């Protein structure tokens, strides 16, 4: 790599270079979220630069085709503040648009070698949205929402953000290092990386809580795990949500061995409260899904009856997640997390 003076500095004043707008309009490749009301023409106030896959031999964009840091941040805020609220379109379609445009934001930042606070501001807000979207779209079929691609984008953002943190101090580092650990719950490499962080970061309330959740999970202390989980705010619980199904599965497996007795019955209301399930009815369905017998509002734990249900579906949770969101717009929730 050459010196810093070899990297272009963006001069594009809008969310999309004019040349791209004209080209995509001519080719009919504008998204309906980018069109003027009732027409097939692009609205310069709504068109956002799309992601372009790098290719061998492809020329680097010119400065007028790259957006400087303030424009990139304004673009992210537009996507999370206005586009995300498009209730008249399928949520998966809106997410696909936002996800692609966030990748284009990161691409512009990469080409300019953005560093420090401007880069951190972009990545923190992008991560906040991606964690939110991963939860909100968890029940969508793979044809509409690909969890593998989403996971890859999230991990790439985490990796880049954490490299930025190594170069300088940032106020929200403890919170986002905690999100990283919660998202990668139970993975030894993630825990190892977090334990190598500087003492002031590792001793922060956010990271201490995330570490406590992680230890409870590793120790299979399910009462403590779900109690800590219920106390988490919205974005941390979104980060942890993908582990909820496997944690409940392991908890039921533990109980099936520890409380295996023909005449021992566990009330569904108590079990639902312990595992943070929305209702006793949902708890009963989860138990049946694992081969356990449900009788008169209680479950009978027997290790011989327990079965692995295979692929676990990550459903929405009113108790654990939705109740934490409140009435604030998503952009406000994310801005609060980043400030």
* Same domain, yes or no: 46 and 128: yes
Burial of residue 193, with CB atoms counted within 10 A of its CB: 0-12 exposed, 13-18 middle, 19 or more buried: middle
pLDDT recorded at residue 2? 38
* Same domain, yes or no: 162 and 18: yes
Q: How many CB atoms lie within 10 A of CB 59?
A: 5
* Number of domains into which the chain is organized: 3
Final residue of a domain: which of 201, 217, 241? 241
* Same domain, yes or no: 98 and 228: no
* Same domain, yes or no: 188 and 212: yes
* Same domain, yes or no: 178 and 266: no
Q: How far apart are CA 260 and CA 106, in angstroms?
A: 52
* Same domain, yes or no: 30 and 161: yes
pLDDT recorded at residue 54? 78
* Same domain, yes or no: 144 and 205: no
pLDDT recorded at residue 176? 98
pLDDT recorded at residue 60? 83
* Same domain, yes or no: 175 and 164: no
> Is residue 339 in some structural domain?
no
Beta strands, E only, the chain: 265-267, 293-295, 298-300
* Same domain, yes or no: 107 and 192: no
Q: Each residue's pLDDT tens digit in the chain (339 positions)?
A: 334 457 889 999 999 999 999 999 999 999 999 999 888 899 999 999 999 987 666 788 899 999 999 999 999 999 999 999 988 999 999 999 999 999 999 999 999 999 999 999 999 999 999 999 999 999 999 999 999 999 999 999 999 999 999 988 899 999 999 999 999 999 999 999 999 999 999 999 999 999 999 999 999 999 999 999 999 999 999 999 999 999 999 999 999 998 888 788 999 999 999 999 999 999 999 999 999 999 999 999 988 899 988 777 678 999 999 999 989 999 999 999 998
258 contacts: CB under 8 Å, gap ≥ 6: 301
* Same domain, yes or no: 136 and 272: no
> Is residue 161 in some structural domain?
yes
Pairing status of strand 293-295 against strand 298-300: antiparallel
Final residue of a domain: which of 206, 241, 276? 241
pLDDT recorded at residue 59? 81
Residue ranges making up the domain that contains 140: 9-51+64-169
CA-based nearest residue to 293, from 254, 264, 251: 264
* Same domain, yes or no: 181 and 234: yes
Final residue of a domain: which of 116, 138, 169? 169
Global pTM reads 0.94
């Amino acid at each position: 790599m050459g010196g810093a003076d070899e990297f272009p500095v963006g001069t594009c004043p809008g969310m999309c270079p004019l040349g791209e707008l004209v080209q995509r309009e001519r080719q009919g490749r504008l998204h309906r979220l980018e069109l003027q009301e009732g027409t097939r023409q692009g609205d310069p106030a709504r068109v956002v630069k799309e992601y372009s896959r790098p290719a061998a031999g492809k020329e680097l964009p010119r400065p007028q085709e790259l957006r400087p840091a303030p424009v990139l941040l304004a673009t992210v805020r537009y996507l999370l503040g206005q586009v995300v609220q498009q209730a008249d379109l399928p949520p998966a379609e809106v997410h696909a648009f936002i996800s692609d445009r966030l990748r284009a934001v990161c691409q512009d930042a990469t080409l300019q070698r953005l560093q420090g606070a401007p880069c951190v501001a972009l990545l923190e807000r992008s991560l906040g949205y991606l964690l939110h979207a991963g939860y909100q779209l968890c029940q969508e079929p793979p044809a509409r929402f690909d969890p593998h691609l989403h996971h890859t984008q999230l991990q790439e953002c985490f990796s880049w953000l954490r490299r930025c943190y190594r170069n300088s101090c940032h106020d929200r580092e403890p919170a986002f290092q905690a999100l990283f650990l919660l998202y990668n719950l139970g993975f030894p490499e993630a825990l190892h990386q977090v334990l190598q962080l500087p003492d002031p970061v590792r001793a922060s309330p956010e990271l201490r809580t995330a570490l406590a959740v992680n230890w409870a999970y590793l120790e299979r202390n399910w009462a403590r795990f779900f109690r800590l989980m219920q106390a988490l705010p919205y974005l941390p619980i979104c980060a942890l949500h993908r582990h909820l199904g496997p944690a409940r599965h392991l908890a039921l497996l533990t109980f099936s061995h520890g409380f295996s007795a023909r005449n021992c019955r566990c009330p569904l209301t108590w079990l639902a409260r312990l595992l943070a399930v929305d209702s006793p009815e949902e708890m009963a369905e989860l138990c049946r899904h694992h081969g356990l017998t449900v009788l008169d509002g209680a479950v009978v734990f027997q290790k011989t009856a327990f079965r692995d249900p295979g692929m676990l579906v990550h459903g929405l949770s009113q108790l654990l997640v939705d109740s934490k969101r409140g009435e604030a717009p998503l952009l406000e929730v994310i801005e609060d997390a980043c400030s």
